[in-house]
Amino acid sequence: MSDKQTNASENKMGVMPVNRLLITMALPMMVSMLVQALYNVVDSIFVARISEEALTAVSMAFPMQNLLIGLGTGLGVGTNALLSRNLGEKKYREANQMAMHGIFLCLCGFVIFLVLGQTIARGFFVLQGASDAIADYGHDYLSVVMCFSFGIFMEVIFERLLQSTGKTFYTMITQGSGAITNIILDPILIFGLFGAPKMGIAGAAYATVAGQILAAILAITFNFRVNKEIQISLKEFRPKLRSIANILYIGVPSVLMVAIGSVMTFSVNKILVVFSSTAVAVFGVYYKLQSFAFMPVFGLNNGMVPIIAYNYGARKPDRITKTVKCGVLYAEIIMLIAFGLMQFMPEELMMLFSASEEMMGIGVPALRTISFHFLMAGFSVIASSYFQAMGNGIYSMMVSICRQMIFLVPLVYILSRSGVVSYVWFAWPIAELASVACCTFFISRINRNVLQPMRKESQ
């Protein structure tokens, strides 16, 4: 690596005004994440035209699909944070090794889901209480997504390598290209347009994995062509237990958070199916719609994490604090907009999914009630990424456990005992209050134990 490249990287991550740096880093990823959210919704819109059972199957597939993506994302988070910290400390050889270990771990993740996709796909739906028709739809969809998951694993890890060196514009291209490919292929493969075979719900799955594979190819290409700060050479790679352990130490809490989210969704599906499969479909629709709020915030996180990690390595606490404050401000603005849409346009949002009268009756109060947790969620999401960037991913996991397993699932069950499905939705804002309290406590611990000593060092 040349001195010019080193200085350019250092100047951007450690010297550029924080607000402008965060916008520069995060905006491309926020745009690409919005496109990702769009294709998630479009996927379900087209599937809903097959039948409500098909839409329910996609909703029930969400916990496993979310776990798959979460594993790749968690490994990417661990790799990204450590790689950025090594760059901040000018440990370039270690940064290269961290990149290669991240790629290796993601390939291992693909092998795991390949095996699961061939063995448990249909049983996963039966376990949730799905009817035979829904289980058949679910198997056709989920088995494809899992068996071709190498696309999403490679997309995630190579995008994180670009993000760790500040090249977020390229991740916008990769994610956007993949999402647009999915959107275009969805109706073609589902309904058999332009001479393509009519594949039904399996067509939606093939459209999804095709977009992921294209995004992976682009991400790999960009890394070799423009990401000169990292030198990837698998020929010289030998797995090292310590490097793997370091990535997992930061990344596994993120994976476990997603796993906890999948367990939560699985549990809620089992509770809601007692009311009706329509209630499960509504819950799935909510999760698709809420991605329009959360995906841009996750893009903001992706821009924020390498900034914090770099400045943590460079021992610049004031830049860390300002980055977090800016992140919380922008996240809350996004969440406030999403809250307004769900409060004032719930009918229009539900009609996107060809909602029946029964689905509309359950869905409108659900969107209005659940969305109150948006007002607090921006802070919680930013705080969790802050913990990971500072090497305290365990805090993020503890917050997630508190919110989803200690409060949310038990509340959903207790409120469901009333026999009134509309009461169930109040569990989300109540659980979010608990999340905010936990995040505030852990932030104060990091400020006291890490940032304050760091400030004293610099005086």
Burial class from Cβ neighbours inside 10 Å (0-12, 13-18, 19+) for residue 356 reads middle
Please state, in angstroms and rounded to a whole number, the distance separating the CA atoms of residues 314 and 90.
Answer: 9
Give the helix/strand (H/E) hosting 413: helix 409-416
Predicted confidence (pLDDT) at residue 268 exceeds the cutoff of 60:
yes
**Closest Cα to residue 76, out of 202, 252, 318?**
252
pLDDT tier at 459, thresholds 50, 70, 90: low
Q: What is the DSSP string of 243-301?
A: HHHHHHHHHHHHHHHHHHHHHHHHHHHHHHTTT-HHHHHHHHHHHHHHHHHHHHHHHHH
- On the question of pLDDT at 234 being above 80, the answer is no
Tell me the per-residue pLDDT of 399-426, one tens digit each, with 9 for 90 and over.
888 998 999 999 999 999 999 999 999 9
Query: pLDDT at position 261, please?
Result: 82
Residue-level pLDDT at 162: 87
Phi, psi at residue 116, to the nearest 5°? -65, -40
Q: Which residue has the tokens 């229009």?
A: 348
Separation CA 342–CA 82 (nearest Å): 38
Measured distance CA(278)–CA(456) in Å, rounded: 58
- Rg of the chain in Å (alpha carbons): 22
How far apart (Å, rounded) are the C-alpha atoms in residues 50 and 260? 31
Give me the amino acid identity at 267.
Answer: S
Cβ burial 55-87 (10 Å sphere, 16+ → b, else e): bbbbbbbbbbbbbbbbbbbbbbbbbbbbbbbbb
pLDDT for the residue 7 = 41
pTM (two decimals): 0.74
What are the backbone dihedrals phi and psi of residue 223, each rounded to the nearest 5 degrees, phi first? -60, -40
pLDDT for position 365: 95
Q: How confident is the model at residue 74 (pLDDT cuts 50, 70, 90)?
A: confident
What does the mean pLDDT of the chain come to?
A: 87
pLDDT for the residue 12:
67
Distance, CA of 184 to CA of 337 (rounded, Å):
28
What is the arithmetic mean of pLDDT over 388-396?
82
What is the average pLDDT across 168-172?
82
Higher pLDDT, 252 or 188: 188
Write the DSSP assignment of 92-150 as a string of letters. Answer: HHHHHHHHHHHHHHHHHHHHHHHHHHHHSHHHHHHHTT--HHHHHHHHHHHHHHHHTTH
Confidence check: pLDDT of 383 > 80 = yes
Q: What is the mean pLDDT of residues 434-452?
A: 92
* Torsion angle (degrees, nearest 10) of CA 153, 156, 158, 164: -150
Instruction: Tell which residue, 205, 106, 215, has the closest CA to residue 150.
Output: 106
